[in-house]
Amino acid sequence: MDPFLRIYLVAPWESWSFGDFARSLAVRLVCSGFRVVVGSRNPKRKASLFPSAAEVTFQAEAVKKADVIFVAIFREHYSTLCDLADVLVGKILVDVSNNTEINHHKESNAEYLASLFPACTVVKGFNVVSAWTLQSGARDGNKQVLICSNNQEAKRIVAEIAQVMGFTPVDMGCMSSACEIENIPLRLLPAWKIPIFLALGLFLCFFTYNLIRQVIHPYIREQKNKLYKIPIEVVNTTLPCVSYVMLSLVYLPGVLAACSQLYYGTKYRRFPDWLDQWLQHRKQIGLLSFFCAALHAVYSLCLPMRRSHRYLLIETAVKQVTGMTIWVEEEVWRMEIYISVGIIALGLLSLLAITSLPSIANSLNWREFSFIQSSLGFIALVISTLHTLTYGWSRAFDENQYKFYLPPTYTLTLLVPCTVIIAKVIFSLPCIRHRLLRIRRGWEKGRYVKFVLPSATGEFSSGETSSNV
Question: Site residues for a copy of itself, window 98-127 (CB under 8 A)?
Answer: 98-101, 104, 127
Shortest distance (Å) from residue 58 CB to a copy of itself = 19
- Spell out, one character per residue from 306 to 325, where the chain touches a copy of itself: x when CB under 8 A holds, - when not: xxx-xx-xxxxxx-xx---x
d(CA 434, CA 457): 10
Sign (positive or negative) of CA dihedral 447, 449, 453, 454: negative
DSSP-derived pairing of the beta strands 121-124 and 144-149: antiparallel
Segment contacting a copy of itself (CB under 8 A): 29-37, 78-86, 112-120, 405-413? 29-37
Count other Cβ atoms within 10 Å, centred on residue 423.
17
Cβ contacts of 23 within 8 Å, gap of 6 or more: 16, 49, 50, 131
Q: Which of 2, 44, 76, 425 binds a copy of itself (CB under 8 A)?
A: 76
Shortest distance (Å) from residue 423 CB to a copy of itself = 19
DSSP-derived pairing of the beta strands 92-95 and 68-71: parallel
C-alpha triplet 64, 68, 71: angle, nearest 5°: 95
| Nearer of residues 19 and 201 to a copy of itself, judged by Cβ | 19
CA 368 to chain CA centroid, nearest Å: 21
| Inter-residue contact 13 to 38 (CB < 8 Å) | no
Map the footprint of a copy of itself across residues 407-466, applying CB under 8 A. Answer: 441-443, 449, 451-452, 454-455, 457-466
- Beta bridge mates, 55: 37
259 binds a copy of itself (CB under 8 A): no
Count other Cβ atoms within 10 Å, centred on residue 383.
19
SS3 146: strand
Cβ contacts of 365 within 8 Å, gap of 6 or more: none
Q: Which of 5, 337, 376, 396 binds a copy of itself (CB under 8 A)?
A: 337
- For 374-412, the three-class secondary structure string (H helix, E strand, C coil) is HHHHHHHHHHHHHHHHHHHCCHHHCHHHCECCECCHHHH
Shortest distance (Å) from residue 188 CB to a copy of itself = 6
Q: Which of 32, 214, 237, 243 binds a copy of itself (CB under 8 A)?
A: 32
Count other Cβ atoms within 10 Å, centred on residue 225.
10
**Residue 123 dihedral angles phi and psi, to the nearest 5°:** -120, 130
Going by C-alpha positions, the residue among 150, 128, 125, 146 that lies closest to residue 137 is 128
Q: Which of 58, 74, 197, 219 binds a copy of itself (CB under 8 A)?
A: 74
Segment contacting a copy of itself (CB under 8 A): 112-120, 196-204, 330-338, 403-411? 330-338
Segment contacting a copy of itself (CB under 8 A): 59-67, 213-221, 305-313, 391-399? 305-313
| Nearer of residues 127 and 409 to a copy of itself, judged by Cβ | 127
d(CA 155, CA 97): 17
| Nearer of residues 75 and 407 to a copy of itself, judged by Cβ | 75
Sign (positive or negative) of CA dihedral 192, 420, 273, 178: positive
Map the footprint of a copy of itself across residues 215-244, applying CB under 8 A. Answer: 228, 230-232, 235
Q: Which of 130, 150, 374, 401 binds a copy of itself (CB under 8 A)?
A: 130
d(CA 11, CA 59): 8
- Spell out, one character per residue from 153 to 182, where the chain touches a copy of itself: x when CB under 8 A holds, - when not: --xx--x------x-x-xxxx---------
**Residue 117 dihedral angles phi and psi, to the nearest 5°:** -125, 75
| Nearer of residues 266 and 411 to a copy of itself, judged by Cβ | 266
| Nearer of residues 60 and 302 to a copy of itself, judged by Cβ | 302
| Nearer of residues 119 and 434 to a copy of itself, judged by Cβ | 434
| Nearer of residues 268 and 405 to a copy of itself, judged by Cβ | 268
264 binds a copy of itself (CB under 8 A): no
389 binds a copy of itself (CB under 8 A): no
Size of the site for a copy of itself (CB under 8 A): 142
Q: Which of 222, 273, 328, 448 binds a copy of itself (CB under 8 A)?
A: 328
Shortest distance (Å) from residue 440 CB to a copy of itself = 9
Going by C-alpha positions, the residue among 84, 78, 35, 32 that lies closest to residue 58 is 84
Segment contacting a copy of itself (CB under 8 A): 54-62, 148-156, 203-211, 410-418? 148-156
Q: Which of 360, 379, 415, 432 binds a copy of itself (CB under 8 A)?
A: 360
Map the footprint of a copy of itself across residues 38-57, applying CB under 8 A. Answer: 53
